[in-house]
Amino acid sequence: MKASSLALMGGGLFIPGPAISGTGAARIELTASKGNYKFEQDQQSPTQLMFFNKAIPGPVIRIPQGQESIVELHNDLDEPTSVHWHGLRIDNEMDGVPGMTQDPIQPGESFLYRLRPPDAGTYWYHSHQRTWGQLAFGLAGILIVEEDEAPRVDQDLIFAVDDWRLDDHLQFDSASLGSMHDWSHGGRLGNWITINGRLDHPYRVSKGERIRFRMLNIANARTMKLRINQPLSRVIAIDGQPVKPYELKSGVVTLAPGQRSDLIIDISGEPNSGSPIELLIKDQVYTVSSFEVDGNIKRQEILESSITLPPNPMNRIQLPQTSKQVPLHIGGGAMGGMQQAIYQGREMGIQELIQNKKIWAFNGIAGLPDSPLFKVRRGSAVSLNIDNDNAWSHAMHIHGHHFIDQKQPGVWRDTALFMREEKGSLRFVADNPGKWLIHCHMIEHQAGGMITWFEVT
C-alpha cells in the first residue's frame, strides 16, 4: 500500500479541477476524454487515464438548490459513456443509466442533462457505462448543490479519496481490469491512495479557522476508514443530507464507496504545526494527507455561529409504520457456495455463470433482469430487507431516492454498508417516478451480477 505519506510536499492547497458554477439555466460543459495525467509534479512518465475536462477528479460543479442547471456532456472517448449523478433525486430520464434511462452516449456525440435537485449537499458524478473500467480509469467528479444559507466558514474544502492500481512507475494496471478474482472477492483494490487526484496533498490552514470539510469516497471498491486528528471536528451531513451536528468518535470517519460526510472543523494546534489525516487498514496506519497550520492566527476563540445546515425537503418526509416488504438476498462470491442462478432468463450452473463473468446474485438472479424487483405506486413506503449471505461487505446504493438504514435511525442515506453475513432494512418512500437501479457500489460486484431495479408508477 502506497500513500501520500511518501510524497507530502509543502506546496499550496490543491483543488480538484477548476470549479464550475451554474446559476438558473446556465449551461455547464463537460468533456469525457483520454489523456496523460501526473499524480505528482516530478512524475517522469505521465499516466494515461480517462477524465472529465482533463482533471482528476473532474471539475467541482456547483449548482443552486431547486433551480434547473444544464450540463452538456461531450464524449471524446473511443467508447460509449454516460454520467450518473450519485445521490441526486432528479427526473428519471436524467439518471444516466444506459439501456434504462438513456442510450449510451456514443463517441463524438453529446447529451444534455437537466438537473433540478431539491436537496442541497455534497454529491458526485461518475460514468455509469462499463463503470468497472471507466471509473477505475478516473471518470468521476464532485457535485455540490449549494444551500441558500450555508454555515459561516473560512474555507470550503474537498477531500475526495480514491485508490489506484499502479505499478512502481505510476502507470495504470490495465491488464488486471475485469479480473474475476477482483469481481468475486472484495473488488478492485488499489495500491496507491490519492486525495483530490494527488499523492502530495496537504491542506493549508490557520489556527482558529473554521473549515467545511467535504469528504467523499470515489474509489471502485475500497471502504475507507479515516482518522481526522483535529479534536474540534463535527459531522453536519451524511450522503448530502443534514444531520444534527455531532462530534466524531475517536476522530474516525468510515466511508464505503459512494458515501460522503460533511464536517465542520475548527482548527486547533499551534502555528507552524501539522496534524495527519490517516487511513486505517486493519492494524496499519497510513498518512494520506495533513492539515498544515501556517504562522497566522485567524482567531483565538472558537467562532460563535451555528453549524447546523438548513433542512432539505428530504428531512421533512415521515416514514409510515407499515410498508411494502421486499426481501433481497445477496448470494455468491468467493467462498459463497452459490451453485446456480438465473441469468438472461435461464438457470445456469456456476461454471457457466463464471464463463459469463457472473458470480453474484440478488434473490437467485444474476445481472440486470428484464422484470423489476418490485413495482409500486408513487408515494408507497418500501422496506428493502437485505440478507448479506456471503463472506464480503457491500455498499448498497439506491438510485433516485434516500432511505433510512435501520442501523442509523433518523439519518437519510443513499448508500449503506453491509458487512459480511449482516442483515438489515433500508426504508424509504418511493416518491420519484421511473425505473431505478439498486446495486452494490463495490463496482466489480455490480458488474459480476449484483444489480436489479424497481419501478415507481
Q: Which amino acid is at 12?
A: G
Same domain, yes or no: 416 and 298 = no
Omega within 30 of 0 (cis) for the link into 117: no
How open is the CA angle 384-395-124, to the nearest 5 degrees? 110
The Cβ of residue 212 has, within 10 Å, a number of other Cβ atoms equal to 22
Task: Give CA separation, 53 vs 32, 199, 441, in Å.
Answer: 7, 20, 24
Provide the residue range defining the domain that includes 92. Answer: 4-146
DSSP string, 170-234: --B--TTTT-HHHHHTT----SEEEETTBSS-EEEEEET-EEEEEEEE--SS--EEEEE--SSEE
Counting the structural domains of the chain, the total is 3
**pTM: predicted TM-score of the whole model, two decimal places:** 0.95
Query: What pLDDT does residue 71 have?
Result: 97
Q: Are residues 331 and 384 in the same domain?
A: yes
Return the DSSP state at 22.
-
Domain shared by 345 and 299, yes or no? no
The reply to whether 187 falls in a domain is no
Domain boundary among 292, 309, 326: 309
CATH number, domain of 125, equals: 2.60.40.420
Give a yes or no: residue 263 inside a domain.
yes
**Digit-coded pLDDT (tens) for 63-121:** 999 999 999 999 999 999 999 999 999 999 999 999 999 999 999 999 999 999 999 99
- Could you say which residues of the chain have pLDDT below 50? 4-15, 23-24
Are 90 and 122 members of one domain? yes
- Whether residue 186 is contained in a domain is answered as no
Task: Examine the domain organization and report whether 334 and 253 are in the same domain.
Answer: no
Give the C-alpha separation, 354 to 292, whole Å.
49
Q: Which grid coordinates belong to 177?
A: 481490469
E-strand stretches of 256-345: 260-266, 273-281, 284-297, 324-332, 340-343
Specify whether the CB–CB gap between 407 and 396 falls below 8 A.
Answer: no
Q: Which of 309, 325, 353 is the last residue of a domain?
A: 309
| Judgement on whether residues 277 and 328 belong to the same structural domain of the protein | no
pLDDT of residue 45: 95
Residue type, 257: P
Say what the pLDDT of residue 14 is.
40
Cell digits for 320?
Answer: 409510515
DSSP code at position 88: -
Same domain, yes or no, for 269 and 216?
yes
Coil, strand or helix at 353: helix
Residue 157 belongs to a domain: no
Residue 8 falls inside a structural domain? yes
DSSP classification of residue 129: S
Q: Phi, psi at residue 113, to the nearest 5°?
A: -100, 125
CA–CA distance from 162 to each of 39, 101, 127, 259, 442 (Å)? 12, 28, 15, 12, 13
In a domain, 334, yes or no: yes
Say what the pLDDT of residue 389 is. 96
Q: Are residues 371 and 401 in the same domain?
A: yes
Last residue of a domain, one of 285, 309, 333: 309
Residues 302 and 330 in one domain: no
